Amino acid sequence: MVRIKLFEMYAADVLASYRAVRQRIGKHPLYVVWFIFLDLAVFGGVVWFVALVINSGEAVQYPLEVADLLFLMFMAFLGKSLLDYYHLLIERPASVFLFSQPLSRHTIVASKLLTVSVYNLALLALGLGIITGFTFLHPGLYFVIPPYLVADAIILMLLASSIGLMYSVVSSLGSWPRKIAATIMYSPMVSLVWLFTLQLRWEGWQLTQALFIVWVLSLIAVPLSSHLILEAWNTMTSSRSKLHRRLSRERRPSWLRRLVSKEAYPVYEKELKTLLRKREGVGNAITLAGFVIFAFYFYSEVDQYLELPAFAIAALPILVVGLSLFLAVVLLALIPALGAISKDGRSTWVLKSMPVRTKHIIEGKLASISVMLPFIIVFVALPVPMLAGLPPISYLFSAMGAAVMFLLAAGIGIWLGAKYPNFTESISYSPDVMTMYIVMMLALFVSAFLLLPPLAIAFADKFLGFLILILALDVACVIFILGKREAEKLLGDLEVTF
Amino acid sequence: MVMMLETRSLTKRFGDVVAVDSVSFTVNRGEIFGLLGTNGAGKTTTMKVFSCLLKPTSGQALVDGLDVVREPLEVKRRIGYMPEAPSLYDKLTGREFILMLGRLRGMPADVLGKRMDEFTHVLDLENALDMEIGSYSKGMRQRVAFASAILHRPPVLILDEPTTGLDPRFAKLVKSWIKDYTNGGNTVLMSTHVTEIAESLCDRVAIIHKGVIAGIGTVAELARMHGTSNLEDTFVKLVDTGRGGAD
């Protein structure tokens, strides 16, 4: 009986996911084709690169070994599993319908573990299938994946699912001491994976057996999570009473009056307060810091292992600066702008029913996003070229490049966010992942189109390159204004059907 | 009689679904007009059209003689809207939310402060005003939304199920407030599916069923027309005999 209930819940999750995917495909069929094409191209490129490295003989040392790749994959899927449990169970108000049924909490938790484990295994199967497909399509790509490696990958997927379950629950507990204590108690599971893969560097069936034992041990997550799940769910679905300082007067600093009109200011203030109180900035800052550290590691290590031509070595610091800036702009301008309209979700009626021009609503939202530009310049655009050992003139180019990318990202983001708003409650009204991906590629392409010519010219003539960069900034301003105007029209036409 | 609200053959479709089908009615100044209907009858859609949240597929909706499509800003200045089970900004406090709406409406700071003090006192929100809305109960959210709708004392108030989620004390308070409000010459359009509320509060009622007006008039007129003794019986009779023709 328990088994039947478990599969009932699993089937409901699968059906819901299937319908969400079908709806997404129905909404943007061409996007899906483009998305698959891009994914295959990127995946194919990686497979081709790995095959090239494996088949190139022993003359070159590689920065990463198989054990590193396995551990990286495990960590990536651990993160994915965490998010899956939040969405499927812990942050979902509708979970009340499961908890109020005459079901044991073990059954509910086990059904979610089953769902996430199967999703993860399906992704692994897809990846291995694509690799096999590429091998057939391109006979030059010769490399064999030994059976024990596949077994390791499967066990690591299952491990990521069970450890992710436990961490998603303990990270949602009501108080910090309990969160920390529970996380520490369960941390030996991750430590064991780290020990066997990265420290002891076990290989072959020895690693497979060790990981299997860890997986069996990790299943203690089911009874432990069942014990704590109600507390975690209650914490995540009910807001705590947070008091904020009483402000009865409008405080609009004089310098801001030039940038944000009186009509747009209430929207700007609301956006900024929401951003700060949701602590979205902390997550973005951590991601950005992680990327910058990785970029520098990559920059300092990669040229020792790969025999790259001189021009490629010279271009690497510039590439690192460009990618760091782009990532910062994606996190702090593109994604916020893309979700600016839809993130109000079911509260969209508030602004739509006010006697305010859409021009001022969009202005307020964009002004709150633009607050991030000085942070990008101070924390990314200036220090990254400095640390990469580039000459001082590059700091100016980097700061101006950041401004160009920022304006483009905000303009394109707000326009396409208004054109394709995503009012899906289950993902907290954040932009659709496919739309996000396509818009990101578009912003990257336009940024490269505007920034590469001044950069190339600057190698020959710095002043001329600078002038062309000013021209690029002008073009970015025009795109920003056009995007803003389109968004205004689209917001005016938006109907609040929910 | 001055007409404050009017629909002329108002139709709203969502794809193949006709939510409101060629509806025509008028609401006079100083009147409390009730839209009574089952779930999905088209009450909310009609109110959203008046609030400029939806555009009519065909026909017209006028507020104080102004077309909702042609002059939405002027229409929005004249109305106060409260949706059913209002979703507010969870990360703002009640005070910040009400202040934001007042500022968006361009209210002078002193008037805004005075009104907020007045309404929050009457609606017993003072203690919760500096807490995030996310921590409010359903009734508290409803009261904040009500305070926001009446903040600028609009000549037309559009209230979608105004007493849902309120405890009996506040439900009574809101009802008496609505009565007093129209005595000053203001107009209220409200929806409900509770016949007792419509009977006790509304000057005239339109029974809407499957997007079509099945009956319109005072409670007594409707009862006389359909040979019933109260609004509940009239409503059941009209709905059961399917005097809506949308399907």
DSSP single-letter state for residue B42: S
Burial of A41 from C-beta contacts in 10 A (0-12 / 13-18 / 19+)? exposed
Which pLDDT belongs to residue B246?
38
- Is A239 in Cβ contact with B132 (below 8 Å)? yes
Which pLDDT belongs to residue A341?
93
A30 inside domain: no
CA distance A397 to A453: 12
Chain B residues touching A273 at Cβ < 8 A: 91-92, 96
Closest among A312, A313, A320 to A296, alpha carbons compared:
A320
DSSP single-letter state for residue B131: B
- Is B130 in Cβ contact with A245 (below 8 Å)? yes
Task: Name the H helices within chain B.
Answer: 43-50, 72-78, 94-104, 109-122, 138-150, 168-183, 195-201, 219-226, 231-240
Is residue A365 a contact partner of residue A434, using CB atoms and an 8 Å limit? no
- CB proximity under 8 Å: B 131-160 to A: 131-132, 134-135
SS3 (DSSP) at B79: strand
Which pLDDT belongs to residue B120?
86
A314 inside domain: yes
> Nearest CB to B113: which of A248, A357, A495?
A248
CA distance A120 to A81: 8
CA distance A9 to A15: 10
Q: Residue A101: CA atoms inside 13 Å, Cβ hemisphere, count?
A: 15
A91 inside domain: no
B230 band by pLDDT with thresholds 50, 70 and 90: confident
Label the pairing between strands B32-37 and B204-209.
parallel
- Is A345 in Cβ contact with B76 (below 8 Å)? no
A247 band by pLDDT with thresholds 50, 70 and 90: low
Model confidence pLDDT, tens digit, residues B209-221: 999 999 999 999 9
A27 inside domain: no
Q: Residue B232: CA atoms inside 13 Å, Cβ hemisphere, count?
A: 5
> Over the range B215-233, which residues count as b (16 or more CB within 10 Å of their CB) and which as e?
bbeebeebbeebebeebee
Decide if B130 touches A, using CB distance below 8 A.
Answer: yes
ipTM for the complex shown: 0.92
Tell me how close the Cα of B155 comes to any Cα of chain A, in angstroms. Answer: 14
For residue B217, the cross-strand partners are B205
Give the Å distances, CA to CA, from A362 to A250, A251, A278, A371, A492.
20, 20, 21, 15, 11
Residue to mutate among A353, A361, A362, A491, with most B CBs inside 10 A, is A353
Decide if B103 touches A, using CB distance below 8 A.
Answer: yes
Tell me how close the Cα of A343 comes to any Cα of chain B, in angstroms. Answer: 11
A300 inside domain: yes
- Is A349 in Cβ contact with B83 (below 8 Å)? yes
A292 band by pLDDT with thresholds 50, 70 and 90: confident
> Over the range A354-368, which residues count as b (16 or more CB within 10 Å of their CB) and which as e?
bbbbbbbbbbbbbbb
A190 inside domain: no
A438 inside domain: yes
B244 band by pLDDT with thresholds 50, 70 and 90: very low
Tell me how close the Cα of B101 comes to any Cα of chain A, in angstroms. Answer: 8
A342 band by pLDDT with thresholds 50, 70 and 90: very high
Label the pairing between strands B187-192 and B66-67.
unpaired
| Longest distance between any two alpha carbons in chain B, whole Å | 54
> Nearest CB to B104: which of A245, A277, A354?
A354
A481 band by pLDDT with thresholds 50, 70 and 90: very high
More confidently predicted of A276 and B14: B14
Of the candidate ranges A41-50, B76-85, B113-122, B133-142, the one whose mean pLDDT is the lowest: A41-50
Q: Quick check: A279 pLDDT over 60?
A: yes
**What average pLDDT does chain A have?**
85
Closest among A105, A424, A92 to A236, alpha carbons compared:
A92
Chain A residues touching B74 at Cβ < 8 A: 355
Model confidence pLDDT, tens digit, residues A23-61: 777 777 777 787 778 777 777 777 776 666 556 555 555
- Is B90 in Cβ contact with A355 (below 8 Å)? no
A401 inside domain: yes
Q: Which residues of A touch B (CB under 8 A)?
A: 238-250, 263, 265-267, 269-270, 273-274, 277-278, 344-347, 349-357, 495-497
Chain A residues touching B107 at Cβ < 8 A: none
Parent domain of A470: 239-498
Decide if B236 touches A, using CB distance below 8 A.
Answer: no
Number of domains in chain A: 1
Identity at A8, one-letter amino acid code: E
More confidently predicted of B83 and A240: B83
Cα torsion for A241, A242, A248, A249, to the nearest 10°?
Answer: -150
Model confidence pLDDT, tens digit, residues A151-183: 999 999 999 999 999 999 998 888 888 888 888
